[in-house]
Amino acid sequence: GEDVEQSLFLSVREGDSSVINCTYTDSSSTYLYWYKQEPGAGLQLLTYIFSNMDMKQDQRLTVLLNKKDKHLSLRIADTQTGDSAIYFCAESGNDMRFGAGTRLTVKP
Amino acid sequence: GAVVSQHPSRVICKSGTSVKIECRSLDFQATTMFWYRQFPKQSLMLMATSNEGSKATYEQGVEKDKFLINHASLTLSTLTVTSAHPEDSSFYICSARNTGGTYGYTFGSGTRLTVV
């Protein structure tokens, strides 16, 4: 199966919270990342978490890591239309592996 | 912070020609760089790992004679798509491992290659 898995689509209303989930397989991953990709653009690093952390908060973004279950989530509070994009989670060991990306659609 | 510059951002070339994409680490040295390819609506796929001063390591299914990688210095890796065909049209992104930073990888902004 895939090394990193995430659901493909998420749709929320403006102002609601968005939660994007990801599972990974490499227990030796040092860092786990969330990237944002807008249409036609490169990857923008949103946030990252070191593997010995459980949670990291950065303004509207909250990352939760369950290392036992190899589960990573990204919560976006007060989601805005500008948050509409594809969100990739990634794990890094000797190289970096990405999930397929979750397309977040924010409806006004 | 660590910055990776990728050039060009967009390129259109004729079928059969070669295209070179550059990836530079601007404020750190990168002994290892990575090249990814992204097909429309798909995830990033690792193509190869570029090692300074030695041969690149290619992922299974990636033709090393078609995708030439050169990592001649600690700040520059190049990917040359040789004898390009329309099916090579894709989004190519490089990243560099910043061993001195607070996190390991920095990405370039990507190159949109269109082969006509």
| Beta-strand relationship, B19-25 and B76-81 | antiparallel
More confident residue, A100 or B19: B19
How many other C-beta atoms lie within 10 A of the C-beta of residue A52? Answer: 8
pLDDT the model gives residue A1: 42
* CA nearest to A99 within chain B: B43
How many other C-beta atoms lie within 10 A of the C-beta of residue B83? Answer: 12
Helix or strand run (H / E) with residue A97: strand A96-98
Q: To probe the interface with B, which of A8, A43, A98, A102 has the most B CB atoms within 10 Å?
A: A43
pLDDT the model gives residue B100: 64
Averages of pLDDT over each 10 residues, chain A, 108 residues: 80 97 85 86 84 93 94 97 93 78 94
More confident residue, B79 or B39: B79
Q: Tokens 């050039």 — which residue?
A: B7
* Rounded Cα distance, B16 and B68, in Å: 15
Q: Using CA atoms of A36, A38, A43, A45 in order, give the dihedral in degrees to the nearest 10.
A: -30
Residue B54 token pair: 């030695």
Confidence of residue B27 (pLDDT cuts 50, 70, 90): confident
pLDDT at B101 over 60: no
* Rounded Cα distance, B53 and B32, in Å: 10
Which of A98, A55, A74, A79 lies closest to B107, judged by CA? A98
pLDDT the model gives residue A13: 97
* CA nearest to A42 within chain B: B109
Chain A residues near residue B21 by CB distance under 8 angstroms: none
Average pLDDT score over residue span B15-30: 93
* Alpha-carbon distances of A86 from A44, A79, B20, B43, rounded to whole Å: 10, 14, 27, 10
* Alpha-carbon distances of A46 from A57, A74, B27, B31, rounded to whole Å: 11, 10, 20, 24
Provide φ and ψ at B79, rounded to 5°. Answer: -120, 120
Confidence of residue B17 (pLDDT cuts 50, 70, 90): very high
